Amino acid sequence: MTLPIGSTLVLVLFASDAMYLTNFSGHSKVWPLYMTIGNIKSSILNKPTSHTWVPVAILPNAPKCIKKVPRWSEEKQEHEALQVLQDLLKFVLHPLSSSARDGHDIKHGDDVVRKCYFWVAGWLADHMANSTIHGIYTTRCAICELP
C-alpha cells in the first residue's frame, strides 16, 4: 500500500506481560495490554512519568483445567481459552484495521490537518506471552521453522 502525499504513518506499539498481584490473593494474575505510538522520541517514550503507554485492555488468563468433566478434555479447554483470547484481541485491534486502510484526519501540532494511517508495528512481550498471543507451543521457537 502506498500512502497519499502529505499523509502520516503512525506506528502503533503494544506491550503485554502477565504479572502476579499478591501472594495473599490466591496467586491471582493480571495480564494488562498497553499501547503507544512509535512516533514519540525514545527519550520521552521510555520515561515512566511521561505516561506514553496507555492501558487498553486486561487480557484473560487461561483458567485451570478441570479434569473430571465428561466430554470436555483438557485439550478442548485450552483451545477454548485460546479462542477467547484471540476473539478479544480481534475486538481490540479491529478499529486499527479500518484506520490502516482509510486513515483518519488529525490536527497536528502545527495546526495542519493531515490524513494519518495507523499501523501495528510491534508487540513487546516475553516468550510465554508471545506464545499464548500467537497460539503456538511454548516449547517451540517463534522464529525458526524447526521444532
> Does residue 33 have a pLDDT over 80?
yes
Q: Check pLDDT > 80 for residue 22.
A: no
pLDDT per position as a tens digit, 58-98: 887 766 666 666 777 777 777 787 888 888 888 988 888 88
The size of the chain, in residues, is 147
| pLDDT at residue 142 in the model | 63
Q: Which residue is listed with cell 490466591?
A: 26
- pTM (2 d.p.): 0.76
Give, rounded to a whole angstrom, the gap between the first and last alpha carbons of the chain. 34
Residue tagged 507451543 (cell numbers): 137
Task: Read off the pLDDT band of 104 (50, 70, 90).
Answer: confident
